[in-house]
Amino acid sequence: MESIEIQKRVSENLRKIRKSKKMTQLDLAIKCDMSEAMIKNIELNRSWPSEKTLSQITNALGIDVYRLFLPLAIDFEKEREIKLSVKDEITKCLRKYLEEKLNSMELR
């Protein structure tokens, strides 16, 4: 993979994640303690962020840095829905298991 493709991926994912969190570039800039122009330039692929800047941005977004490097086809909102669905299913299974165990203990 070419470095320009990686830069494009980071830029587009940053914009997509920021928007999915309903943040403006200014909101993110304030939360990162950097300028709005810096966020804009990264999103437009005009500048490449340092490791420190990437860390500030991902901390402000509440994500792990690897998410900026995922393939562009990843739908972050869909990913969130899937995680919630899996969590709900695990919770149901655990409840059922615990109820069965408790019921079997009461019968003894």
State pTM to two decimals: 0.66
Q: What is the mean pLDDT of each run of 10 residues along the chain (108 residues)?
A: 87 93 96 96 94 95 91 67 82 90 80
pLDDT, residue 12, reads: 92
The token pair that represents 71 in the structure block: 């393939």
pLDDT, residue 83, reads: 77
pLDDT, residue 46, reads: 94
pLDDT, residue 35, reads: 96
pLDDT, residue 72, reads: 67
Q: How far is CA 28 from CA 4, 17, 45, 57, 97, in A?
A: 24, 11, 17, 7, 43
